[in-house]
């Protein structure tokens, strides 16, 4: 377990992504994945009210509902750290105080819990003052419905502004940033957002840690992969992408682990990163990403060079 900075939360080094629950992982399979994760020391699950509104027949909240039902059936809510988000669901858009308070009640009901450990602003909302947004979170924290707040998909300047407003007005402060970061997508995190996190001593919880599956090694030159995400990785299938996968493969073999585990270990090696998010549609996939390994400086340098 690792400590999340500026919190009393101890979490597993892999944050299990819940975006697949109720979408590419049906309820029964989702329960198997959650069981394996929990039984092997996992306690940190990421979801959002919008998961998975995009799937035909869904309206949003499916992932939260599955997680809530699973926690209730296992009686383990107090052992879990649950992060969920507000602002992207089509029926609960934005970061107005009214919307945040209503969305939180919806999420609590679906999760079948009295509190959310980390409540994220899922995306920035420039149409609402940050004071209004942060005051709404203050009310939820005071009511015991939220423990900590965090930001997702906030540019460095906007995150800095939010943190300054929290400090100036004695309002709750974001304890983490969630954003896109991995070996094939290193900017703008490294040159912009990381500086803000370092100066405020908060952490990064990167999503797309495996580049929607490209950094698992299943994609290889000339290999046709049957996956609902195959189209989204085409942009990585070039000389640079294949070079990164090749180096990952060499390191994985030397450590007797999976390519996925090495890609996630590279993320953890960044001083501003705590627990990267990765999802699994099957228990087999979960086993690959749950192996927490440490890289030496030479291995990190090789991956840095391949992905620079």
Active site residues: 51
Contact 173, 163 (CB under 8 A): yes
Nearest residue to 139 via CA among 105, 101, 89, 91: 101
Element (H, E) at 36: helix 27-39
Q: Which residues contact 261 (CB under 8 A, 6 or more apart)?
A: 252, 255, 288, 289, 290, 291, 292, 293
- Cβ atoms of residues 14 and 46 within 8 Å: no
CA pair distance 175, 151, nearest whole angstrom: 8
If we measure between CA atoms, which residue out of 218, 216, 224, 191 comes closest to residue 278? 216
What is the Cα–Cα distance from 171 to 166, expressed in whole angstroms? 4
Q: How far apart are CA 257 and CA 302, in angstroms?
A: 17
DSSP result, 112-160: T-S-EEEEEE-S--TTS-HHHHHHHHHHHHHTTSEEEEEEES--HHHHH
- Other beta carbons within 10 Å of 149: 26
Token pair of 169 as six digits: 């007005």
Whether cis (ω within 30° of 0) applies to the bond prior to 258 is no
Distances (CA, A) of 1 to 9, 43, 148, 245: 10, 9, 18, 28
Is the separation of the CB atoms in 183 and 211 below 8 Å? yes
């Amino acid at each position: 377990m690792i400590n999340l900075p500026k919190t009393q939360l101890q979490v597993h080094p892999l944050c299990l992504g819940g975006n697949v629950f109720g979408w590419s992982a049906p309820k029964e399979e989702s329960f198997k994945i959650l069981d394996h994760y929990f039984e092997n020391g996992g306690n940190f699950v990421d979801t959002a009210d919008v998961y998975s509104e995009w799937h035909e027949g869904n309206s949003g909240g499916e992932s939260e509902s599955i997680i809530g039902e699973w926690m209730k059936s296992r009686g383990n809510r107090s052992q879990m750290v649950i992060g969920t988000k507000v602002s992207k669901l089509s029926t609960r858009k934005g970061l107005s105080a009214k919307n945040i308070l209503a969305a939180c009640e919806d999420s609590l009901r679906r999760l079948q819990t009295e509190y959310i450990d980390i409540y994220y602003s899922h995306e920035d909302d420039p149409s609402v003052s940050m004071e209004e947004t942060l005051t709404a979170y203050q009310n939820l924290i005071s009511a015991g419905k939220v423990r900590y707040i965090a930001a997702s998909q906030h540019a460095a300047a906007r995150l800095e502004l939010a943190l300054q407003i929290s400090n100036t007005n004695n309002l709750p402060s974001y304890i983490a940033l969630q954003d896109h970061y991995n070996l094939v997508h290193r900017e703008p995190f490294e040159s912009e957002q990381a500086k803000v996190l370092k100066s405020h001593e908060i952490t990064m919880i990167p999503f797309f840690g495996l580049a929607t599956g490209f950094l698992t090694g299943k994609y290889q030159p000339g290999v046709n992969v049957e996956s609902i995400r195959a189209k989204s990785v085409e942009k990585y299938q070039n000389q640079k992408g294949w070079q990164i996968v090749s180096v990952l493969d060499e390191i994985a073999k030397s450590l007797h682990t999976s390519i996925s585990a090495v890609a996630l270990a590279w993320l953890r090696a960044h001083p501003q990163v705590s627990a990267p998010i990765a999802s699994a549609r099957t228990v087999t996939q979960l086993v690959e990403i749950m192996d927490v390994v440490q890289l030496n400086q030479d291995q990190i340098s090789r991956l840095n060079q391949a992905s620079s």
